[in-house]
Amino acid sequence: MKRCMATIFLTLALACPCRTWAASPLSGAVDAGGGWKYSTWFGCFWPGDPWVYSTDHGWVYLTGSADSMLIWDSKGGWWWTRGTSYPFLYSSDQQSWLWYLKGSRNPRWFYNYSTGRWEDDHAPRVALHFYRR
């Protein structure tokens, strides 16, 4: 049994029922003890409905089907992925494919295929445009 090591405050039992993941890309996740699940491609997570806590991404909103998943992340916006594609993510906000460096946390690192650069999730994603009068 794979154990998830996460030091977070989960003294509050999630008010929402645990998702069964019957028709989700995370349906193959196994019990990791203490309410945690482990997915060979997504890693350790605390299942909720629809919010889950991922040891890599923190709190994320998941929605999807058996073959694809949308993830909403407070720093990254909407991402699309699937079990056979992850850690490749399509960023709706950036209109670009990203590659997540698995295991990177605080900050998380992403390779942006449109810019050809590594980006961390602490960098602002706001483009400033200055116009000369």
Determine, yes or no, domain membership for 24.
no
Residue 58 included in any domain? yes
Q: For residues 97-116, b (16+ Cβ closer than 10 Å) or e, as one string?
A: bbebeeeeeeebbbbeeeee
Q: φ and ψ at 9, to 5 degrees? A: -90, 100
Query: pLDDT digit string (tens) for 4-40?
Result: 544 333 322 333 334 444 467 788 899 999 999 999 9
Whether 132 is covered by a domain: the verdict is: no
Q: What are phi and psi of 98, to 5 degrees?
A: -120, 155
Mean pLDDT (the chain, rounded): 81
Read off the pLDDT of residues 61-83 as tens digits, 9 standing for 90 and up.
999 887 899 999 999 999 999 99
Determine, yes or no, domain membership for 42: yes
**Number of folded domains in the chain?**
1
Q: How far apart are CA 65 and CA 107, in angstroms?
A: 29
Domain enclosing residue 75, as ranges: 30-120
Whether residue 71 is contained in a domain is answered as yes
